[in-house]
Structure 1
Amino acid sequence: MRSRSLLPVAALVLSLGADSQATDAGPDPVVVRVGESEARASELRFLLGRLHEFERETYGKTAGEVRRGLLEKRLVLDLLFAEEGKQKGALGKAEVAAKIRAALAQALKAELERSFDAKLSRADLEAYCKSSGGEPADAGAPACSGDLSGYRVVIRRTRAAEEMERLAKELREREVKQTDYALLERLVVRTDDSVAPAPSSQR
């Protein structure tokens, strides 16, 4: 039997605008807290920024309605289901652990790309364009002039990938403490994608 039921709506702490107070101080206050899970203003801004126009209309007509609708109809539900999943032991599931690891790795790569992108100057883009043999779309225009945004994407992705490779080598040498290769050899994958020890040869 569960020790507590999932939180009632009255337990949700909302911070949506001037008519309500943030749940904590600082530049990134908590917007909603559900059990042990919480979402901050930065997450709500991120989700709002990714909404297409037709999606906005499903949440409300005014900016305030859209913010509240997104929070109550999507973010709060995500937090509620996350809490329920944790109570049911989802964090101990292999597939959940794999998805969390993949998400964290992708977040690191995205952060590296943003960092490299912020340091790129127009001169950097032109130099890369020239070194890669780039040609202008307009034959009458100077080489490597105009819109070089495509090169910006290539550079930041390339540099981020190189940094990820460097980090992998550094972290592997420092952080990998133990690998059970004997156990690895005994594992077999069943058709249901779960892993079990290899069957014994003895009968």
Structure 2
Amino acid sequence: MQSELTLTTEAAARALAQSHSFLGHFLTPRSPSEVAARLGMAANLTHHHARKLEALGLLREQRREAGKVYYQLTARQFRGAKELLPPGDPDENAVRTLRELSAEFLNANARSWSYSSGEDEGTVYGFESAPHEVELPRTSGGTDEPQPTHLDALTLRLTPERYRKLALALSALLSEAYTQGQSDSGEVCTLAVLGFRDTRSEMQDRRGIARGTSTFLPWP
């Protein structure tokens, strides 16, 4: 397996965006039948999909054994030129990722709500003119869900240098979790860092700090 492969066609870049979850099952050599059993898909569909991804250079045939074809990722990391899927394209990395994350978060949020008991503070917005010791919201009813949803957003004016420092510091937390590896048990969870320059017209005259939280986590 190559460490990195640069994609040169729109078809390959689009297939990678649309099939990244499917491709992840071929980090080690597997037959489409094995993947079909894992995903609850029809074996003929997984075979067809694997052959299509092989033709695009994303999978390679690793071996044949006992009448089965075993495929593996061509590379551990794929890199595509940004002009293949420009901003605004439905399969462009940020567009597709945010769409998928938003849909999954909303589903998880509804699930956390269904598990909650009693009353909680709901979504909380705070506005301040200067930094202060933030009193974070406390859930009063709580939830029985083991991994409840958590959203925490902060809007404030930042220099380019401070913005980069804060964004990278948040990403460093995810890097730390990545290096520590997965737990032996539990559920699949996603933690995301989002940072951007806010160009909404209503934000341009803001002089204070805005903090918004929507969480089912009990704050300490």
TM-score of the two chains, using structure 2 as the length reference: 0.26
Q: Which has the higher contact order (CA 8 A, sep 6+)?
A: 2
- Name the structure with the higher strand share: 2
Task: Kindly name which structure, 1 or 2, has the bigger radius of gyration based on alpha carbons.
Answer: 1
- Name the structure with the higher helix share: 1
TM-score of the two chains, using structure 1 as the length reference: 0.28
